[in-house]
Amino acid sequence: MKGRRIVLGEWNGREAAALVLDGRLDDLLLDHPHQLRPGAILRALCDRPLKGQGGMILRLPDGGQGWLRQATSRRPGEPLLVQVTGVPEGGKAVPLTDRILFKGRFAIVTPGAPGVNVSRRVRDGAERGRLEAVGAAALGEAPHGLILRSAAVEASDEDLTGEIASLLALAEQVLTDGGREPELLVDGDGPHALALREWTASDIVDGPSAFEREGLIEQVEALRSPVARLEDGGSLSIEVTRAVVAVDVNTGSDTSGAAALKANLAAARLLPRQLRLRGLGGQIVVDFVSMSKAHRRTLEQSLRDSFRNDPVETSLVGWTAMGLYEISRKRERVPLAVLAGEP
């Protein structure tokens, strides 16, 4: 089916959301019922500093542990407001920040960072001026900053003002918290809420059986295979280890002189989608098909173009001495293999 659709349903008994482009799964959000969601805001207690690393282990609700970077000024036993920034690796502490953000569809309230800023994606001068004026008026004398997202272009002055007022009220409630024991104050958004906040589509399909009705179950199950087919007949082999995600690019049956570059460019186009659908992050090492160094620049440009609009923060590190390509990607999703019950 042609067009852009948001599907809100369930997969394996878990809340799930999918972004579908022309009938093909383009993005996938799955819930983990036993893990703190990214964006959750907590009151935590500083537990013990990690000497030589400048960070600190924090005590979280229900006996959990969190990891806060650059916490040299904190003392054990001190209560602290923190926000979950990502998904922990197996058995490790939850990554946290003390720079809390209150995010909506149109705006983000930024305590401790005053000023009104508009997304760079909004390029129309008149529209930027409108958003800045509405944002400044809604912010008033509040001691916070404001970022107006590109989606704010769709919002009326009234809708934008209303969302900012709600975010400011939530910020006031959280930031004036006076408790001293670990507690979850604001839960992170689940897949449905996150999809409606971050994605846009003219068609929204929902219901417990929505994934089945839209033919997405088979597409999700296909992601459990380590092999993803390229458009030219080659393939990507994606293997997850405890240390890295290893990706191997193969040309398939094509033995022509241009096979290496063709397969590598196809892999560069496919890689961001495969990583986000599988929920993979951390250190990623790609073994592209051997090719001349003269073609590396073309491949690097293709990688930059492919990852430019990917929603997950990604750094293209570059080539190793062994000719592998390194990528560093934020862990903000639970890997599909974990949610599927695989080791």
Q: Which pLDDT belongs to residue 257? A: 67
Q: Which pLDDT belongs to residue 27? A: 97
Q: Token pair of 25, please? A: 């799964």
pTM attached to this predicted model: 0.91
Q: Token pair of 48, please? A: 């013990």
Q: Which pLDDT belongs to residue 343? A: 46
Segments in the chain below pLDDT 50: 343
For residues 19 and 4, is the Cβ–Cβ distance under 8 A? yes
Domain ranges of the chain: 4-31+192-217, 41-100, 102-177, 223-339
For residues 160 and 107, is the Cβ–Cβ distance under 8 A? yes
The verdict on domain 41-100 having CATH code 2.40.50.140 is yes
C-alpha–C-alpha distance, residues 13 and 211, integer Å: 11
Q: Which pLDDT belongs to residue 51? A: 78
Sole residue written with tokens 């992170």? 188
Q: Which pLDDT belongs to residue 253? A: 78
Instruction: Write the CATH number of the domain with boundaries 223-339.
Output: 3.40.630
Burial of 258 (0-12, 13-18, 19+ CB in 10 A): exposed
Q: Which pLDDT belongs to residue 50? A: 84
Q: Which pLDDT belongs to residue 115? A: 94
Q: Which pLDDT belongs to residue 293? A: 86
Helix, strand and coil in the chain, % to nearest 5? 30, 30, 40
